[in-house]
Structure 1
Amino acid sequence: MKNDTAKVAIKKLMPPLNTPFNDFAPVISADGSTMMFTSNRPSTERELAKGKAGREYIYEVTVDPKKKKWGAPKLLGPAVNAPGRNNSAIALSPDGQRMLVYRDNNDGNGNVFESVLNGTEWSELTEFPEPINSEEHESSACYSPDGRMIYFVSDREGGEGGKDIWYVTRGESDTWGALKNMGPVINTKEDEQGIFLHADGRTLYFSSKGHGSSGGYDLFRSAQEGSGWSVPNPLGAPLNTPGDDLYLVFLADGKTAYMSSERSGGMGEKDLYEVKFTPLPGRKAQDPLLTLLKGQVVDEETKQPVEGDIEITDNAKNVSISKQRSNSSTGNFLLSLPSGKNYGISVSAPGYLFHSENFDLQDTASYKEVVKVVELKKVKVGKSIVLNNVFYDFDKATLRPESSTELDALVQLLKDNEKLRIELGSHTDDKGADDYNQKLSDARAASVVTHLANKGVAQDRLVAKGYGETSPIAPNDTEEGRQQNRRTEFKVLE
Structure 2
Amino acid sequence: MDYGEFSGAYLSNDGQTILMYFSENISGNLCDIYFSQLRKAGDWSKPKSVGKVINGKNTDEVSPFLASDGKTLYFSSNRSGGFGSYDIYMSRRLDDSWKKWSEPKNLGELINTSGWEAYYSLDASGKYAYMVSTNDSYGLEDIVRIPLIEEAQPDPVVLINGKVFDSKTGKGIAAEIRYEELGHEEVSGVARTNPEDGSFKIILPYGKRYSFSANVDGYFPVSENIDLMQVEKYKEILKDLQLVPIEVGHTIRLNNIFFDFGKAELRPESFPELNKVAKLMRENPDMEIEVSGYTDNVGSDSFNLKLSTNRTEEVKKYLVSKKINKNRIIAKGYGKENPVTSNETEEGQQQNRRVEFTILKK
Q: Is the 8 A contact 2:177 2:215 kept in 1?
A: yes
CA positional deviation for 1:440: 1.6
**1:320 alignment partner, SS class:** coil
Q: Is the 8 A contact 1:188 1:211 kept in 2?
A: no
Tell whether 2:220 aligns with 1:348. Answer: no
Residue equivalent to 1:404: 271
Residue equivalent to 2:171: 304
Residue equivalent to 1:198: 67
CA positional deviation for 1:334: 1.9
Residue equivalent to 1:449: 316
Which of 231, 247, 253 is equivalent to 1:380? 247
Residue equivalent to 1:256: 128
One-letter identity of the residue aligned with 1:257: A
Tell whether 2:115 aligns with 1:216. Answer: no
Alignment of 1:239-250 (within 5 A): 239-250=111-122
Deviations 1:245-283 (A, max 9, x none): 11111111112332111011x21011111223488xxxx
Q: CA separation of 1:137/1:426 partners in 2, compared to 1, >3 Å: closer, same or farther?
A: farther
**1:402 alignment partner, SS class:** helix
Deviations 1:17-74 (A, max 9, x none): xxxxxxxxxxxxxxxxxxxxxxxxxxxxxxxxxxxxxxxxxxxxxxxxxxxxxxxxxx
One-letter identity of the residue aligned with 2:91: S
One-letter identity of the residue aligned with 1:268: G
Q: Is the 8 A contact 1:252 1:288 kept in 2?
A: no
Alpha-carbon distance between aligned partners in 2 of 1:300 and 1:477, rounded to the nearest angstrom? 26
Q: CA separation of 1:302/1:479 partners in 2, compared to 1, >3 Å: closer, same or farther?
A: closer
Tell whether 2:51 aligns with 1:183. Answer: yes
Alignment of 1:25-424 (within 5 A): 133-137=1-5, 139-156=7-24, 162-177=30-45, 179-189=47-57, 190-210=59-79, 212-227=81-96, 228-264=100-136, 266-277=137-148, 288-424=155-291
Identity of aligned residues (%): 38
One-letter identity of the residue aligned with 1:275: I
**2:281 alignment partner, SS class:** helix
Q: Is the 8 A contact 2:164 2:240 kept in 1?
A: yes
**Structure 2 gaps, min length 5:** none
TM-score for both structures, normalised by structure 2:
0.88
Q: Is the 8 A contact 2:183 2:271 kept in 1?
A: no
TM-score for both structures, normalised by structure 1:
0.66
One-letter identity of the residue aligned with 1:349: V
Deviations 1:364-419 (A, max 9, x none): 14322122333323233432222111223443222222222211211222233344
Q: Is the 8 A contact 1:168 1:176 kept in 2?
A: yes
**1:344 alignment partner, SS class:** strand
**1:437 alignment partner, SS class:** helix
One-letter identity of the residue aligned with 2:10: C
Alpha-carbon distance between aligned partners in 1 of 2:61 and 2:274, rounded to the nearest angstrom? 46
**2:10 alignment partner, SS class:** strand
Alpha-carbon distance between aligned partners in 2 of 1:380 and 1:271, rounded to the nearest angstrom? 55
**1:196 alignment partner, SS class:** strand
**1:345 alignment partner, SS class:** strand
Alpha-carbon distance between aligned partners in 2 of 1:262 and 1:285, rounded to the nearest angstrom? 21
Structure having the larger proportion of residues in strand = 1
Q: Is the 8 A contact 1:318 1:402 kept in 2?
A: no
**Structure 1 gaps, min length 5:** 1-132
CA positional deviation for 1:208: 1.1
Deviations 1:59-98 (A, max 9, x none): xxxxxxxxxxxxxxxxxxxxxxxxxxxxxxxxxxxxxxxx
One-letter identity of the residue aligned with 1:171: R
Alpha-carbon distance between aligned partners in 2 of 1:186 and 1:476, rounded to the nearest angstrom? 56
> Number of paired residues?
354
Alpha-carbon distance between aligned partners in 2 of 1:202 and 1:487, rounded to the nearest angstrom? 36
**1:448 alignment partner, SS class:** helix
Q: Is the 8 A contact 2:294 2:355 kept in 1?
A: yes
CA positional deviation for 1:292: 1.5
**1:468 alignment partner, SS class:** coil
CA positional deviation for 1:357: 0.7
Tell whether 2:333 aligns with 1:461. Answer: no
Deviations 1:123-154 (A, max 9, x none): xxxxxxxxxx5333561221222222111112
Deviations 1:232-252 (A, max 9, x none): 222223321011111111111
Q: Is the 8 A contact 1:422 1:493 kept in 2?
A: yes
Deviations 1:444-488 (A, max 9, x none): 111111111222223232111112233333444444333333221
Q: Is the 8 A contact 1:200 1:252 kept in 2?
A: no
Alpha-carbon distance between aligned partners in 2 of 1:482 and 1:456, rounded to the nearest angstrom? 34
**1:294 alignment partner, SS class:** strand
Q: Is the 8 A contact 2:69 2:154 kept in 1?
A: no
Q: Is the 8 A contact 1:308 1:325 kept in 2?
A: yes
Q: Is the 8 A contact 2:183 2:272 kept in 1?
A: no
Which of 339, 349, 360 is equivalent to 1:482? 349
